[in-house]
Chain A
Amino acid sequence: MAETNKDAPVADAAMAPYWEAARDGRLLLGHCRSCDRCYYYPRPLCPFCLGDETGWREASGAGTVYSWSVERRGKPPYIIAFVTLAEGPTILSNLVDCEPEAVAIGQHVTLAFETREEQPVPVFRPA
């Protein structure tokens, strides 16, 4: 049996539109038509009502830093952050293309994509 990366995501058919959009440089959020509310991470049943009247909303890409830390043990060190999107949800990501000394809570950031293990994922850089 071939060795597998135990942390590699298992394919989830319901999430295929999310990953297809990521390859186009677009970030999709879950959206519940009953609640009229966006949520993240996406899932087919709404985390606020467990209803299945759900779909997708594309994020504008605008956000602000909610909190952040520099992982000094990283080689190289990297910035992890919670970013609050203009659409409401706060999501975990990395801040890129900026020095730790320049980061502040409330700072405006904008969406970008970086490829991690052959998969484009949403990161943020200073706006």
Chain B
Amino acid sequence: MSIKGKAFIAGIYEHPTRKAEGISLQQLHAEVARGALADAGLTLADVDAYFCAGDAPGLGGFSMAEYLGLNVRHTDTTETGGSSYLIHVSHAAQAIAAGKCKVALITLAGKPRTGGAPPGRPPMAVQPPDLPFEAPFKPTVLNNYAMCARRHMHEFGTTSEQLAWIKVAASQHAQHNPHAMLRDVVTVEDVVNSPVVADPLHRLDCCVVSDGGGALVVVAPEIAASLARPQVRVIGAGEAIKHTNGGDIDITYSAGVWSAARAFDEAGIARSDIKYASLYDSFTITVLMQLEDIGFCAKGEGGRFVADGGLISGVGRLPFNTDGGGLCNNHPGNRGGMTKILEAVRQLRGEAHPAVQVANCDLALAHGTGGYLGTRHGSATLILERV
């Protein structure tokens, strides 16, 4: 069974806060839920499925369903870190296609700047099995991704200047977003002259740390047809996990190789048909590797693809993250998958900022990598179409 055309994204909402002083994590979830339902033109009583991940306080979906006042017949708490919400859209489409629900609400919120629940940490009832064999060496998210960048540079000649172009493009877009944390346009020189935090990555190769959240409402076709919003249809989805494979590793590619292939097979379109791409941008290297893994360019060609404004809307061949992305706008709860979907939907609706809106944007891709690029992670790809 394919999900192609079986579900629509009818409601979206991004919380405007980037520092949620005095607002609890659960309240953020509730505010984004209300915002997305209002955007869709639906009410709490219409929701019959709820999706959340490890950022939601409490146990699985119970606690937030109670707090939100939901009465649902379907729930899914799939957890793949920051890419969870992309998979939630796919699973919601599957559930709708199977007749299990008609209106699915997906929420994300986080408060890494102002406390609350531990940001972005998956629920670990027991220790991960890798812990005794890795924790003594003080691995961090940053040095994990940095080792991917180092190896990519070694094998393909990728340079820090090429990676810097990704931040430059994000900053060019963020200048138009009044909510973005970093609105100043930066240059390649600014990036490569910023302090090295984990060789070869610089401070400006990293995303922001922000509070906030977002929500989506995924609905059945007949519901979408009854609403007054532009129709954004899910036409392809893929997910995949990559890990250390018993020690037989190659960290120059991600699970996106597999998730993207599955999504494009389902959608039945070509890479060149995509007018806009939201790409997870925890670090600049994440974007570069995903571009290659999705197939927008050959493996090893990512550096040349992004250089000289290749990702800048109106300038380059593939406009990306026109909200400023995680690199400049926000990264709520250290989980960037939700905001990737939100901006892709804005682009398809024609509701992006006019300075960055892609003309005739009828096909968009949203892609995420949750977890740790160099060791174990979950990738997810969504392909969306404006009807």
* A interface, CB within 8 angstroms of B: 7, 9-10, 12, 15, 29-30, 37-43, 46-48, 66-74, 78, 80-82, 85, 88-94, 100, 105, 116-117, 119, 121, 123
Q: Does B298 contact A (CB under 8 A)?
A: no
The answer on a CB contact under 8 Å between A7 and B146 is no
Q: How many whole Å from B157's CB to the nearest CB in chain A?
A: 13
* Shortest beta-carbon contacts, A-B, top 4: A89-B247, A39-B246, A9-B132, A69-B146
* B interface, CB within 8 angstroms of A: 126-127, 129-140, 142-143, 146-148, 150-151, 154, 195-201, 244-249, 251, 374-375
Known: A43-B129, A90-B247. A7 touches B147 (CB 8 A): no
Give the nearest-CB partner of B149 in chain A.
Answer: A69
The answer on a CB contact under 8 Å between A80 and B131 is no
The answer on a CB contact under 8 Å between A7 and B135 is yes
The answer on a CB contact under 8 Å between B135 and A93 is no
Assembled-state Cα–Cα distance A119/B136 (Å):
9
The answer on a CB contact under 8 Å between A67 and B151 is yes
The answer on a CB contact under 8 Å between A39 and B136 is no
Known: A70-B198, A71-B142, A82-B251. A105 touches B246 (CB 8 A): no
The answer on a CB contact under 8 Å between A88 and B248 is yes
The interface residues of chain A, by DSSP majority, are classed as: strand
The answer on a CB contact under 8 Å between B247 and A68 is no
Known: A80-B139, A89-B248. A68 touches B147 (CB 8 A): yes
Which of A47, A78, A100, A121 interacts with B246 by CB under 8 Å?
Answer: A47
Assembled-state Cα–Cα distance A15/B131 (Å):
13
The answer on a CB contact under 8 Å between B150 and A121 is no
Assembled-state Cα–Cα distance A117/B135 (Å):
11
Residues in B whose Cβ lies below 8 Å from that of A72:
195-199
Residues in A whose Cβ lies below 8 Å from that of B131:
7, 9
Assembled-state Cα–Cα distance A34/B296 (Å):
40
Q: How many whole Å from B245's CB to the nearest CB in chain A?
A: 7
The answer on a CB contact under 8 Å between A41 and B133 is yes
The answer on a CB contact under 8 Å between B143 and A9 is no
Assembled-state Cα–Cα distance A29/B198 (Å):
29
The answer on a CB contact under 8 Å between B139 and A90 is no
Which of A30, A82, A116, A119 interacts with B147 by CB under 8 Å?
Answer: A82
The answer on a CB contact under 8 Å between A47 and B245 is yes
Q: How many whole Å from A66's CB to the nearest CB in chain B?
A: 7
The answer on a CB contact under 8 Å between A94 and B150 is no
Give the nearest-CB partner of B126 in chain A.
Answer: A10
Assembled-state Cα–Cα distance A89/B250 (Å):
11
The answer on a CB contact under 8 Å between A9 and B137 is no
Q: How many whole Å from B286's CB to the nearest CB in chain A?
A: 15
Give the nearest-CB partner of B195 in chain A.
Answer: A72
Residues in B whose Cβ lies below 8 Å from that of A82:
147, 249, 251, 374
Known: A47-B245, A73-B197. A105 touches B132 (CB 8 A): no
Assembled-state Cα–Cα distance A88/B133 (Å):
17
Give the nearest-CB partner of B200 in chain A.
Answer: A69
Known: A39-B247, A40-B246, A100-B199. A71 touches B138 (CB 8 A): yes
Known: A72-B199, A117-B136. A67 touches B245 (CB 8 A): no
